[in-house]
Structure 1
Amino acid sequence: MEITELTEPERRVWEAFPRGEPVDLSAAEDRTVRARVLRSLLLTTPDENGEIPALRLRGARVTGELNVHSGHVSCPVSLRECDFDETVVLYGAEFRQLTLGGCRMPGLWATTLRVDGALRLNDCRVTGAVALSGARIAGALFLDRAEVGVPAQAAGEGGTQPAERPESPLKLDHATVGEDLRATRLTVHGRARLDGVTVTGLVRLDDACLLQPGGTALQAETLTVGTDLHAMRLWAEGRVNLRGATVPGQLNLSCARLSNPGGVALRASSCTAGEFWLREARPVEGVVNLRRGRFELLHISPEVWPAAVRLDGLTYTTLVPARPAAERLEVLTRDGDGYVPFAYEQLTAAYRHIGDDAAARTVQLAKQRRHRTTLALHGRLWGHLQDVTVGYGFRPMRAAGWLAGLLLVGAVTYGLRPPRPLKADEAPGFNAFAYALDLLLPIIDFGQEKAYAPQGGYQWLAYLLIVAGWVLATTFVTGVNRAVSRY
């Protein structure tokens, strides 16, 4: 392109480029720069001896399509607060450094883009889609305060808005980021796709707003993060899908607002994280699916759980904050899979881990009661009998109480109506208390049971005391053993 063909704003950009000098057209009367002029600079890279060329432009209105498809750009590029009339095409291109901060554009097509340094899209406003699928960014990716897509009610209206609202305005699937992915206060109207993304550092989505009501707001299956994923105060309308994600550090959704009424609000099945935080989050609206998730620490209060959960196979070492077992157990009754034994065993293990044996026994008792509801009639009846008498063996003091009560009944009954001696001349003096104790406790022998024989209904009472004594004494001893061994 001949320099004589350039307009005044374009001439300023052309002359500043070889020396890497910035050009600010924000206050200029004429801010228009043709896209083909910028393309010619980027691909031919005119330079001056001893200078480092760079494109540093602010406040321009770029007309036409900036198309660097499969091009190699060896100089740093910084376009700030520029308005693009058409979609920016960087498909398959290679850049050293690329900044599009504060720019407004109909779309950014940068699939398989390669950037040797950082890619900065802070404060951008993109009414169409940002397509970075398969991109390779050696440095960090910045999307702080960016807004992508348009609200559903605004799609199809006049101006620069697209005729059709893209379902996935932000496409980062299978991209690789060499450092951090920072997207605080990001707004996406539609689905944000991060499937298979690999980030060496951390992902920061604090205060982000992802809006896809009735659909999927964040699609991040098999996301791999090197350190932490922070999404504090995240507002997601639609499903947040983290199935199979790997976060060795902290997966932090503290103070988040997750809403997808009538559907799954949070899916983190088969997700692995060092710590999973939902501290002080709003009550989730929709189903929470944590099947087969693995966390060292799970920080979630009972009031945050929604009315429907899926917890089969969920494993965790520590559950915080510390709450009574009754509050945690109520959540397990909301599992849409029905009776899930593993969920009770996992909760028991968490209480054992902190040394709360009483809470662990409470969970085990609740497990038996929930299991009882799945049995046939005869099984339920037998279960009720076990529950009332000995608390399924997890209430040993209840067995001791029954023993004491039966001992009192036996002592009073046989005290009022002593049984006849088998051999009157050899029988020891009758002692109603010792006789009842002989019947109840199988390992105790005061010589009373063998010396006296009750008759009629009193004989049947003796049989009842013998059988009950065996059952209750065994239950009591088992319960004590559990307590000693920290069951």
Structure 2
Amino acid sequence: MKSPGGLNLTAATASNLVDTLEAWPEDCQISLAGFTYDRIYGPTDAQTRLVWLAKCDRWNGEFFPQPYKQLAKTLHDMGHEADARQVLITLACKLRQEARTKLRITPNGDLSTGLHSIWRDILRLCLGGKDSISLLLTAHGYKPQRSLYALILLFAAATFPAQWAWDEGSFAPNSGPILLSEGWQELARDDDIQNPAAEWANRNAIPGKDWETFNRYAYAADVVIPIVEFGQTEAWAPSTERGLWGYHLWWLRWGFTILGWIVTALGAAALTGLIRRD
């Protein structure tokens, strides 16, 4: 039904939707809230249909999510799984954007309102960051495999500073008694030994010096992947005083650990359905 200033299809029903993008008027408001249909005869790719919905998801300034859910359902029933998923991802992004927009307060010169507006802006900024991370790592729960890819990238990234710190001799046994022992002190003070840790870990050396062998991949896994324990971080610790990479790794490992927990937690939440998808 076409009303003054717009085309209102609210609660309309059709078995088949036969159209092209050009069939929809450009110069009037269109409402598809509650409009249902079983099949689409026309473009069914997500990119084209999302352009179509962008013209029809608001009525008098109010956002309506139902047209996106209806399109996703129809595409799913027609067998277009990837396109249906993309529509739902776009809907999740729009719902979060709407939630952030509703938090906005326009200052009116009043001090209390101004302070409240600043607080809301900070909250919107935090929510925006959280939503961006959720989109990047799980596509708001629709692509949890992204978190696995991110974890693999973190693991790979952590191996490089670990190896560089080891090669420059910036690791030491992670044991107080060993660090205070005469054997370690002798190695650490010997200017002819570039890597005391490697010497200490050499199982062919003097009995008593043998220690856990360093492996950059196992060390990176210990740092990045929660719960996993290969014994590397228990055996070795980077020193902030022996070299540049040891100093950097001392701080980087905390960042890798925090990011590993975030990525793993979001991935697990997406897999178990804890991330709200609608």
Tell me, yes or no, if the aligned pair for 1:288 and 1:305 is still in contact at 8 Å: no
Q: Which amino acid aligns with 1:446?
A: F
Name the SS for the 1:309 alignment partner: strand
Aligned pair count reads 202
**Counterpart check, 1:460 vs 2:251:** yes
Distance in 2 (alpha carbons) for counterparts of 1:468 and 1:360: 30
Q: Which has the higher contact order (CA 8 A, sep 6+)?
A: 2
| Post-superposition offset of 1:462 | 2.0
Q: 1:336 to 1:454 in 2, by over 3 A?
A: same
Could you say what secondary structure the match of 1:417 adopts? helix
Which structure 1 segments of 5+ residues have no match? 1-239, 242-259, 265-286
SS at match of 2:22: helix
The Cα of 1:290 is off from its aligned counterpart by 1.5
Which residue, 361, 364, 371 being the options, matches 2:85?
A: 361
Cα distance in 1 between the residues matched to 2:272 and 2:71: 21
Say which of 48, 57, 71 aligns to 1:347.
71
**Cross-structure match for 1:336:** 58
Checking the alignment, whether the CA contact within 8 Å between 1:396 and 1:476 is kept in structure 2 is: yes
SS in 2 for 1:319: strand
Residues 477 and 339 (structure 1), Cα distance of their counterparts in 2 relative to 1, 3 Å cut: same
Residue 427 of structure 1 and its aligned partner are, at CA, apart by 4.9
Residue in 2 that maps onto 1:296 = 15
Contact 2:16 2:37 in 1 (8 A): yes
C-alpha spacing 1:429/1:327, structure 2 compared with 1 (3 Å): same
Gap change, CA 1:451 and 1:358, over 3 Å in 2: farther
| Residue 412 (str. 1) matches residue 160 (str. 2) | yes
> What is the aligned partner in structure 2 of residue 451 from structure 1?
235
CA contact (8 A) 2:173 2:236 kept: yes
Which stretch of structure 1 is more off in the superposition, 387-396 or 328-337? 387-396
Residue-by-residue CA offset, 1:331-356 (whole Å, 9 max, x unaligned):
22223334322222222212221232
CA distance in 1, matches of 2:67, 2:211: 58
Report which of the two structures shows the higher radius of gyration computed on alpha carbons: 1
Name the % identity. Answer: 24
2:30 pairs, out of 298, 304, 309, with 309
Contact 1:348/1:361 (<8 A) preserved:
yes
RMSD: 3.1
- Residues 1:320 and 2:46 are matched in the alignment: no
Separation in 1 of the partners of 2:164 and 2:51? 49
**Letter aligned with residue 66 of structure 2:** F
Could you say which structure has the higher helix fraction? 2
Q: Which runs of 5+ in 2 are unaligned?
A: 104-123, 179-208, 240-246
Offset, 1:433: 1.3
Shift of 1:445: 2.6
Secondary structure of the equivalent of 2:229? coil
Match of 1:435 in 2: 219
Give the whole-Å Cα distance in 2 for the aligned partners of 1:449 and 1:291. Answer: 61
Cα drift, residue 476 of structure 1? 4.4
Can you list the C-alpha shifts for 1:248-281, whole angstroms capped at 9, x where unaligned? xxxxxxxxxxxx8xx35xxxxxxxxxxxxxxxxx
Q: Deviation per CA, 1:152-185, whole angstroms, max 9, x where unpaired?
A: xxxxxxxxxxxxxxxxxxxxxxxxxxxxxxxxxx
> Deviation at 1:328?
0.8
